[in-house]
Amino acid sequence: MTARAFGFRLWALGLASVLLSSALGFAQINMPDPSLINGRALPAPELAPGTITVRVVREAIGNNIVGQDVRLTVGGATRTAKTDDEGRAEFSGLSSGADARAEVTVDGETIASDPLTVPATGGLRVILVSGLQAASARAKEQAAADAASPPVKGVVVLGPNSRVALEFQDDTLRVFYILDVLNNARARVDIGGPLIIDLPRGAGGAAVIQGSSPSATVSGDRLTVTGPFAPGVTSVQVGFTLAHDGPDLELQQTWPVALEQLTVAAEKIGALSIASPQFSTVGEIKSGDGTPFLLASGAALPAGSTLTLQLSGLPSHSALPRQVALALALAIIGAGAWLSYKPRPGGPSKAKLASRRDELLADLAAIEKRRRRGESSGRDAQRQPELLAELEGIYGELDEVRPGPRGGGEDVAA
């Protein structure tokens, strides 16, 4: 399984977790990066139709600028309003469908919004952030200084935005760990070695997902994050599959470091339900595309604790037909081997052909096992027909011989 495949619906899972935290009050979500929302309009259905509010802050959300003149240009005409105690300037009575743009000048720096369109219902909220370039430059200088200084002994935790997410594709259960490895110190931290997380029993095809820190790697069912850890968040995202033959499954995950907030999101398929003795709340909500999710949370878990998650009502199909088909195929192959007697004159010896046949059968069996565990790769798909073709040729060699005098009939009287 590739990392790209695991990124299939990660955005929806992230959105669902944010909705979970805001709608059900499960966790405090860290403030977003100001540069990601600067100048972008957010729908505000609670505002009166034809209303746009513009909030002005310095470098960070919450650092409001009061009494600042804000300009809004609508249809070629410019209106001006001052920000209030919350840093907001309000413009009302705007024509539905009109094009607009907000602008402000702070300490000689002019910040403009993206192009806006006045909605037919509700209003828009816009944030303009001053001093982003200066803040970014200071952050780079601080990061360089931190990188140059020796690390200190300390600990990391899995921050409150960390979460476990589950989804289904082709009846395959995919599990995602979206982890914020959080260092609350002001210097790099050495935790005494790498952070190692052993994935649950039965995990297959584990892969680090694009967007993770390059210090995160996966080998088999072990996730390793090498240190030292920089101040702030080291993002780690890993996906894997869990095989299930029935409607019920138990997932157990031990966390080597403390988890500050337990959050689990599961795509709601059919009668799926999730439960855990560590959950305090379970709810259901829909993502932006209408996909329903089961969303659950619990209190912080100390280092070394094990999350136990029970899933019931899983979509599943009986493995019996596939097992019967495999058994029949192996029986046919075995019958062909039993009927063989000796090699074609001048060809490889019967012993060599039989040995090669056994090797190919073992390779086919290994490919089938990987497929059943959800670990098959493109190489397996390419290799399987090659193995079958070679087996066909070997059985052809063995089957050409019929019982008769040994040695090709030499020294036999006419």
pLDDT in tens, 53-94: 999 999 988 899 999 999 999 988 999 999 999 999 999 999
What's the CATH fold of domain 32-134? Immunoglobulin-like (2.60.40)
Mean pLDDT is lowest, of 157-171, 241-255, 302-316, 393-407, for 393-407
Residue 189, classified by CB atoms within 10 Å of its CB into exposed (0-12), middle (13-18) or buried (19+), is buried
State mean pLDDT over 216-234. 94
> Worst-scoring range by mean pLDDT, 67-71, 93-97, 345-349?
345-349
- Residue boundaries of the structural domains of the chain: 3-13+160-312, 32-134, 321-406
**What's the confidence (pLDDT) of residue 36?**
83
Residue of higher predicted confidence among 170 and 72: 72
| Highest-confidence segment of 232-236, 371-375, 402-406 | 232-236
* Cα separation, 370 vs 175, whole angstroms: 18
Q: Who contacts 46 (Cβ-Cβ below 8 Å, separation ≥6)?
A: 122
In whole angstroms, give the CA distance from residue 36 to residue 15: 15
Question: What's domain 3-13+160-312's architecture?
Answer: Sandwich (2.60)
CA distance 326 to 78: 75
Q: Do the domains spanning 3-13+160-312 and 32-134 agree at the CATH topology level?
A: yes
| Sign of the Cα pseudo-torsion (198, 199, 205, 206, in order) | negative
pLDDT at residue 323, rounded to an integer: 55
pLDDT digits (tens, 9 = 90+) for 295-331: 999 999 999 999 999 999 887 655 445 555 566 666 6
Dist CA 211 CA 219 (whole Å): 18
- Other C-beta atoms within 10 Å of 256: how many? 14
| pLDDT exceeds cutoff 70 at 31 | no
pTM greater than 0.75:
no
CB burial readout 238-249, b (16+ within 10 A) else e: bbbbbbbeeeeb
